[in-house]
Amino acid sequence: MLPDLDKDFNSETAQPDSFSQEFIAEYIHNQRIKVQTRKNLEEFLFFFACQVISASLALVLFQYALSFWMTVWLCQLIAWLPSLTIALRAGVLTS
């Protein structure tokens, strides 16, 4: 391998106890960050899913209301057509 790397690992100046303590502290810190990141992602995905469900429900309700009112208006138009044709034949609506 690299001679400089082997020399650094084999030197007497390396302090294995302090390195291991630092490594453990950094590892614990990294794991806490990973857990917090996962929690944040879960919260974001839950919020996003709620928004999608809310928008879908609003769209379904809007479609239902629109179809309901269009049906009502269509039925009223169909109900008024005979009276309009009678009025047109009688000359009431002509100017």
Any idea where the domains of the chain sit in the sequence?
21-90
For residue 84, what pLDDT is reported? Answer: 75
* Residue predicted with more confidence, 77 or 33: 33
At 12, the amino acid letter reads E
For residue 81, what pLDDT is reported? Answer: 80
- Full-model pTM: 0.50
Quickly tell me which residue has 């049906």 as its tokens.
71
For residue 2, what pLDDT is reported? Answer: 55
- Cα–Cα distance, 84 to 92 (Å, whole number): 9
Q: Are 94 and 88 in contact (CB under 8 A)?
A: yes
CA 79 to chain centre: 45
Q: Are 29 and 37 in contact (CB under 8 A)?
A: no
- Cα–Cα distance, 90 to 82 (Å, whole number): 12
Residue 82: pLDDT band (50, 70, 90) is: confident
Q: Are 52 and 44 in contact (CB under 8 A)?
A: no
pLDDT tens digit sequence for 2-17: 555 555 555 555 555 6
Q: Are 19 and 25 in contact (CB under 8 A)?
A: no
pLDDT tens digit sequence for 23-54: 889 999 999 999 999 999 999 999 999 999 99
